Amino acid sequence: MFPSSLQYNPQQWVAPNAATAYGQFLYNTSAARGQNIVGSNDSKPARQHVAFAHPSLRGEKRTHVGTACAAHWLGRKQQTLRSWACLEDGPIRPIRINGRLAWPVDAIRRLMGVEGIQ
């Protein structure tokens, strides 16, 4: 029959064979709740999010940075900065290098009120 932790819903539970039924059971009970399917004794979660580490604005030595780094420092989404560049209405303006946007670090520092390395 069905495991006690799974409620039968004919619109959700369509399993032509046992392997598919077991896969549906694992998905509905473990993976959908973010638990590790391999075992309950594992110390790591099933999915780990590893964020890209951006350098600090204060210690940045480059003159220009990419959109992802500038968006991180400004606390905005990347698409917001792309909109500023396209419409030319943002507080800072990037330069374009082979179709890519390069945001000036000095302008970001002035906007955020951060002193850089001299």
**21-56 residue pLDDT tens:** 555 655 555 444 555 545 445 555 555 545 567 888
Alpha-carbon distance of 52 to 69, in angstroms, equals 10
Q: Is residue 105 part of a domain?
A: yes
- Whether 16 has a pLDDT exceeding 50, the answer reads yes
CA pair distance 20, 98, nearest whole angstrom: 49
Residues 36 and 78 in one domain: no
Q: For residue 87, what are the domain limits?
A: 64-112
Count of domains in the chain?
A: 2
38 with 75, same domain: the answer is no
Partner residues linked to 97 by β-bridges: 100
> Do 41 and 68 belong to one domain?
no
Mean pLDDT, residues 86-109 taken together: 95
Residue type, 108: I
pTM above threshold 0.85: no
Between the two ends of the chain, the Cα-to-Cα distance in Å is 72
Asked whether the predicted pLDDT for residue 60 surpasses 70, the reply is: yes
Task: Please give the Cα distance from 101 to 85 (Å, whole number).
Answer: 8
